[in-house]
């Protein structure tokens, strides 16, 4: 059975992409799925958020795009069943380096499509450049986290245009797995209004689970921990657990 390859994508910064990747990937790994995270963001927040330090990295996502790469090895995290291809800052130059290569959109796909994991989650950078295009070309589906705020819908048009362009060119089978509301505060009318607004556009594609604004989620990466290690009784932990279950329901078992 083919791997579910899921990009977490939104070109808007700080909407909860990396927090979502770390916590759903680790939850599915805890539940016995074999999971790989690809950190495709030069900021390397997923890498540092899992407590991985630079000295230990022998193969990074930069090496994926480097022709003279050594053979691929995923980094085994301390969490059972969870591997990562960590990022490093050199990745920021890669879009220029590969710009004129034939097949530049397929480089990531070629490496990850037959690795045999149950799930691969790709943490995208906050842009719609060639790295994100590589991610979307390699993916079976995308999850779009949207911060619950007044300007939530702004920029989604551009993201959807990119999604359609990818479907029309490098990846006709790409799907939207779901739209996720993050930093949600159920006590405010604004949050409820934003949810309604997003629902009008995306209907049942909107995940039932909202991720609440929760300080424990914001703290966890500074300890290099997932929310399940940092505070498994927190609201954030419960929300990501519920989201992971929805993801299991929406994806094919493999």
Ligand X SMILES: Nc1ncnc2c1ncn2[C@@H]1O[C@H](COP(=O)(O)OP(=O)(O)OP(=O)(O)O)[C@@H](O)[C@H]1O
Binding site for ligand X (CB under 6 A): 13-19, 41, 43, 45, 126, 182-183, 211, 213-214, 217-218, 221, 236
Q: Minimum CB separation from Mg ion for residue 18, in Å?
A: 3
Question: Which C-beta is closer to ligand X: that of 126 or that of 155?
Answer: 126
Q: How far is the CB of 183 from ligand X (least distance, A)?
A: 5
Which stretch, 17-25, 81-89, 156-164, 169-177, contacts Mg ion (CB under 5 A)? 17-25
For Mg ion, give the closer residue by CB, 34 or 46.
46
Please select the residue that binds Mg ion; options are 3, 45, 60, 134, rule is CB under 5 A: 45
CB of 219: closest distance to ligand X in angstroms?
A: 8
Give one DSSP letter per residue of the chain, joined into a string: ---EEEEE--SSTTSSHHHHHHHHHHHHHHTT--EEEEE--TT-HHHHHTT--GGG-SS-HHHHT-TTPPPP-PEEPSSTTEEEE---GGGGGHHHHHTTSTTGGGHHHHHHTTS--SEEEEE--SS-SHHHHHHHHH-SEEEEEEE-STTTTTTHHHHHHHHHHHHHTT-TT-EEEEEEEESB-TTSHHHHHHHHHHHHHHGGGB-SPPPBP-HHHHHGGGGT--HHHH-TTSHHHHHHHHHHHHHHHHS---
Contact call for residue 47 and Mg ion (CB under 5 A): no
The one of Mg ion, ligand X, none whose footprint includes residue 24, by CB under 5 to 8 A per kind, is none
Nearer to ligand X, 34 or 191 (CB): 191
The residue sitting closest to Mg ion, measured at its beta carbon, is 18
Q: Whole-angstrom Cα distance, residue 158 to residue 207?
A: 21
Which of 4, 8, 17, 194 touches Mg ion (CB under 5 A)? 17
Are the C-beta atoms of residues 160 and 25 closer than 8 Å to each other? no
Q: In the complex with ligand X, which residue's Cβ is closer, 93 or 103?
A: 93
Q: Cβ 178 to ligand X, closest distance in Å? A: 16
CB 165, min distance to ligand X, A: 21
Q: Does 18 bind Mg ion (CB under 5 A)?
A: yes
């Amino acid at each position: 059975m083919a791997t579910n390859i899921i990009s977490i994508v939104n070109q808007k910064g700080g909407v909860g992409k990396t927090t979502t990747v770390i916590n759903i990937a680790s939850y599915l790994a805890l539940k016995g799925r074999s999971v790989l995270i690809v950190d495709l963001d030069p900021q390397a927040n997923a890498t540092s958020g899992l407590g991985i330090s630079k000295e230990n990295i022998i193969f990074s996502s930069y090496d994926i795009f480097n022709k003279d790469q050594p053979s691929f090895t995923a980094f085994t995290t301390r969490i059972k069943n969870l591997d990562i291809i960590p990022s490093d800052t050199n990745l920021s130059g890669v879009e220029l380096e590969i710009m004129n290569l034939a097949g530049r959109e397929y480089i990531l796909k070629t490496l990850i499509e037959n690795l045999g994991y149950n799930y691969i989650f790709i943490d995208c950078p906050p842009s719609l450049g060639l790295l994100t295009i590589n991610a979307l070309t390699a993916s079976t589906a995308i999850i779009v986290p949207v911060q619950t705020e007044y300007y939530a819908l702004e920029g989604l048009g551009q993201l959807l245009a990119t999604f359609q362009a990818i479907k029309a060119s490098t990846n006709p089978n790409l799907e939207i797995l779901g739209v996720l509301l993050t930093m949600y505060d159920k006590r405010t009318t604004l949050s409820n209004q934003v949810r309604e607004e997003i629902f009008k556009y995306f209907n049942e594609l909107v995940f039932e689970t909202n991720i609440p604004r929760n300080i424990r989620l914001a703290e966890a990466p500074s300890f290099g921990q997932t929310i399940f290690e940092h505070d498994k009784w927190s609201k954030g932990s419960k929300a990501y657990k519920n989201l992971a279950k929805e993801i299991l329901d929406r994806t094919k078992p493999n």
